[in-house]
A and B are shown apart, each in its own frame.
Chain A
């Protein structure tokens, strides 16, 4: 347990320090959503109806941005070998890295979302559904992303490969997340989509921990 906490703290501290990239994901998220009205035009109804999809796409891409710092640096400087030898099971190592990634990326996106959503003229009563959908969905994104990062670690030009692996697997979360917010905007019931989103994150938690640990284990050369 102490090892888990130590690894978690190490990852968070490393990403928060300069060169760590903790704010990059959130910054990218806001930047993309600032580009949206500039590209789509200032018409309120268009932005309001496009907002759920745009916010979720930005969240997906921002999630991708933080993933290069999760496994790759540890592989390069040999920390991964030490982690493999430690008493902590690799599944928990993956869990700690996912938690660190989510706390510095997904959670910040959740907290910033109401601000940018208001910029896109989303109604204030829908904002809590948006936050809830991101809260339920971004852990799943972090899990799948970390498993993808473990699979593509050490590969030349692995960034594109990472995107190619992770984005198709993230599509269901995108669909349900955006549909939850759209349903709330139309006055309907978002709970079905939100429950499915939570289910996706839970499934991702199990599958990605196992797959990521297997990939880390097999990365020794």
Chain B
């Protein structure tokens, strides 16, 4: 980890890893979609409409996982002063926001035929919506402050303050009476799902994770190179001014 604190080492690793990760993600997505659409059994009540679960559930898992990654990166930057911690958190945020939006939208598309409503204000849906707003606020904070180091410090704090929402989302189906289904996979006594459904779900989840890793590396590279560009621009203006 310390070896990759050097941005140059990290950039070369990212450049080499990204195509492999993207390829693996596409392959896993293809396998996952095939399993989800053709191999997994239809639900006895919902029929084929339940197959949206294989898109919705991994997206929801990713929305929380990405925020967890952001929080870990913020801690690495805050406590251990890791130079790439802020970069990682900033790079992860848009992906997390998109996963959350995907989970909300696919949830709505699933909810309309199943529950008869596009949206209900129950604990889980509301807390995931709050998570989405937190992502937007985080991205807005980064955009609002021009100087990257100052923006990084503020963003760290916001990320860690909002991290309290993640356990609330996970346990919301236990603590409140919700319309949303309870925990079926992440339970203390193991998943309650048959392997024919669990396998496509896990394949899709791993595919999403690998895709996120690839996108994260791309965005981190862009961010590091962007900061270099900014420094070059600022110093070149100074040099030009001194020459005149």
| Interface, chain A (partner B; CB < 8 A) | 147, 151-152, 155-158, 161, 164-165, 167-169, 171, 175, 203, 207-208, 211, 214-215, 218-219, 221
Contacts and interface: CB of A to CB of B under 8 A. Distances in A.
A152 B141 contact: yes
Given A152-B141, A161-B137, A218-B154, 15 more contacts: A151-B158, A152-B144, A152-B154, A161-B140, A164-B133, A165-B158, A168-B130, A168-B134, A169-B134, A169-B161, A171-B126, A171-B130, A175-B126, A211-B160, A215-B157
A161 B133 contact: no
B137 A165 contact: yes
B147 interface: yes
A158 B144 contact: yes
B52 interface: no
Interface residue SS majority, chain B: helix
B94 interface: no
Nearest to A203: B164
Contacts of A167: 133
Interface residue SS majority, chain A: helix
B144 A157 contact: yes
B127 to A, nearest CB: 9
The 5 closest A-B pairs by CB, nearest first: A168-B133, A218-B153, A164-B137, A155-B144, A165-B137
Given A164-B133, A169-B161, A207-B161, A151 B140 contact: no
24 contacts: A151-B141, A151-B154, A151-B157, A151-B158, A152-B144, A152-B154, A155-B144, A161-B137, A161-B140, A161-B141, A164-B133, A164-B136, A164-B140, A165-B141, A167-B133, A168-B134, A168-B137, A168-B162, A171-B130, A208-B161, A211-B157, A211-B160, A218-B157, A219-B150
Interface string B131-158: 0011011001100110100100110011
A67 to B, nearest CB: 15
A161 B161 CA distance: 16
A140 to B, nearest CB: 13
Contacts of A207: 161, 164
Contact of B154 (A156, A208, A215): A215
Contacts of A151: 141, 154, 157-158
Nearest to A214: B157
A156 B226 CA distance: 22
A221 B164 CA distance: 29
A161 B151 CA distance: 13
A221 B148 CA distance: 12
Contacts of A158: 144
A158 B133 CA distance: 17
B131 to A, nearest CB: 8
A214 B153 CA distance: 9
Contacts of B134: 168-169
A215 B136 CA distance: 19
Nearest to A212: B157
Contact of A221 (B126, B140, B147): B147
A203 B168 CA distance: 14
A155 B137 CA distance: 14
